[in-house]
């Protein structure tokens, strides 16, 4: 019993932690220096802009506590940690989160990293290449010598995020608003959006020359926070799949063009390497993703999130050299924890 405890302690001191903090959830993984993952936990949103620092702090702690649970109390000691987070080092510093993680056993260095780098390294152990992420927002990066060399877009919903989930959802509601009062072509998106919002399209009443449905659409949309418009992006994909709706096709074609331009903006002849796709908009079943892939002239590797890449970054900061074998070990052991 006492020898078992000693062994656990010894292993524990070599354990490191990697966090992938995203807008909808925060993920933590506990691994050793060989890339073998032992614990995995998930908690709430970890974007400092949308969730706020106190909520991010709580999400990090909860995710780590959940990751440590199967390891028992003896495991609670970590030699270092990496947090991959949106806007890392511009908006946040490790100091904001250190104390909360110390209480849970973090004994060594805590390093902040870009969520974009984490997404890239979820797809490859190579230290150069490209990443394109299109979820609620959209951003592209060129990676060189393992660091961000250049980024394009990621400017947020008002200034950029062209081709993102927000952008597509925004185009959907604008197309519906134009169709409803005859400024734009008719589209099946009207019936789909009104149904999602619970608006009866058939009310004959007019207010100030406007239909009741149009007035209710205005009321419903302005009750949302703008970024929530991203939840209407799937309507465009459905309208293309279900009935080849021309308006929806045009929206997705323009989204693909915008994402290709964003990726093109970071392309440099000197940097060759894999292309990693992240985010729901570029997902496996989307023709949008394949058309951006074709425009880039190569196959893309699609990743679910940045948790494996955060582990790669944590290993590198701890002094490990991440090679193909270690990269496979991270993915295999992580998959076992995520889908037990």
Residue 118 engages a copy of itself in binding (rule: CB under 8 A)? no
Closest CA to 242 of 177, 178, 195: 195
Element (H, E) at 98: helix 95-102
Please identify which residue in 28, 83, 217, 248 interacts with a copy of itself, judged by CB under 8 A.
217
Alpha carbons 175 and 149: distance in angstroms, whole number: 37
Residues 241 to 270 in contact with a copy of itself, rule: CB under 8 A: 258, 261-262, 264-266
> β-strand 26-31 against 37-43: which pairing, if any?
antiparallel
**Nearer Cβ to a copy of itself (260/333):** 260
Show the binding pattern over residues 24-63: x = contacts a copy of itself (CB under 8 A), - = does not. ----------------------------------------
**Nearer Cβ to a copy of itself (12/197):** 197
**Nearer Cβ to a copy of itself (102/183):** 183
Contact (CB, 8 A) for 247 and 189: yes
**Nearer Cβ to a copy of itself (218/244):** 218
Backbone angles phi, psi at 247, to 5 degrees: -65, -45
CA 166 from centre of chain: 13
Binding part of the chain for a copy of itself, among 21-29, 167-175, 246-254, 317-325 by CB under 8 A, reads 167-175
Please provide the DSSP assignment of 6-72 as one string: HHHHHHHHH-EEEEEE-SS-EEEEEE-TTS-EEEEEEES---HHHH-HHHHHHHHHHHHHHHHGGG-
Residues forming beta bridges with residue 40, ordered by sequence position = 29
Residue 88 engages a copy of itself in binding (rule: CB under 8 A)? yes
Least distance CB 228 / a copy of itself (angstroms): 11
Residues 227 to 246 in contact with a copy of itself, rule: CB under 8 A: 229
Q: What is the dihedral of CA 71, 112, 322, 304, to 10 degrees?
A: 80
Please identify which residue in 215, 287, 290, 291 interacts with a copy of itself, judged by CB under 8 A.
215
Q: What is the dihedral of CA 231, 19, 63, 330, to 10 degrees?
A: 100
Residue 136 engages a copy of itself in binding (rule: CB under 8 A)? no
Show the binding pattern over residues 170-209: x = contacts a copy of itself (CB under 8 A), - = does not. x--xx--xx--xxxx----------------------xxx
Please identify which residue in 202, 222, 321, 339 interacts with a copy of itself, judged by CB under 8 A.
222
Q: Tell me which residues touch a copy of itself (CB under 8 A).
A: 87-90, 114, 116, 141-142, 148-156, 158-160, 162, 170, 173-174, 177-178, 181-184, 207-210, 214-215, 217-218, 221-222, 226, 229, 258, 261-262, 264-266
């Amino acid at each position: 019993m006492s020898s078992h405890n000693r062994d656990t302690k010894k292993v524990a001191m070599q354990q490191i932690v990697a966090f992938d903090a995203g807008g909808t959830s925060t993920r933590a993984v506990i691994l050793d220096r060989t890339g073998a993952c032992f614990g995995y936990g998930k908690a709430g949103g970890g974007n400092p802009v949308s969730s706020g620092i106190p909520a991010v702090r709580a999400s990090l702690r909860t995710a780590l506590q959940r990751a440590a649970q199967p390891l028992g109390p003896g495991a609670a000691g970590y030699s270092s940690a990496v947090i991959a987070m949106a806007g890392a080092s511009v908006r946040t510093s490790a100091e904001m989160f250190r104390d909360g993680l110390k209480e849970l056993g973090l004994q060594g260095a805590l390093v902040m990293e870009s969520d974009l780098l984490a997404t890239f390294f979820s797809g490859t152990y190579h230290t150069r290449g490209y990443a394109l992420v299109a979820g609620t927002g959209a951003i592209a990066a060129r990676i060189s010598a393992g660091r961000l060399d250049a980024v394009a877009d990621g400017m947020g919903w008002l200034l950029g995020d062209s081709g993102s989930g927000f952008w597509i959802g925004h185009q959907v509601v604008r197309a519906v608003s134009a169709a409803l009062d005859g400024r734009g072509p008719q589209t099946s998106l009207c019936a789909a959006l009104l149904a999602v919002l619970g608006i009866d399209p058939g009310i004959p009443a007019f207010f100030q020359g406007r239909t009741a449905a149009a007035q209710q659409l205005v009321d419903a949309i302005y009750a949302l926070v703008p970024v929530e418009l991203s939840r209407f992006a799937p309507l465009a994909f459905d309208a293309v799949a279900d009935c080849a709706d021309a308006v929806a096709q045009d929206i997705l074609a323009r989204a693909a063009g915008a994402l290709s331009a964003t990726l093109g903006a970071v392309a440099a002849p000197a940097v060759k390497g894999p292309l990693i796709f992240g985010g729901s908009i570029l997902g496996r079943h989307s023709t949008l993703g394949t058309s951006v892939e074709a425009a880039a002239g190569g196959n893309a590797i699609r990743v679910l999130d940045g948790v494996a890449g955060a582990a790669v970054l944590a290993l590198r900061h701890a002094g490990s050299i991440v090679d193909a074998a270690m990269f496979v070990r991270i993915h295999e052991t992580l998959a076992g924890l995520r889908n037990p």
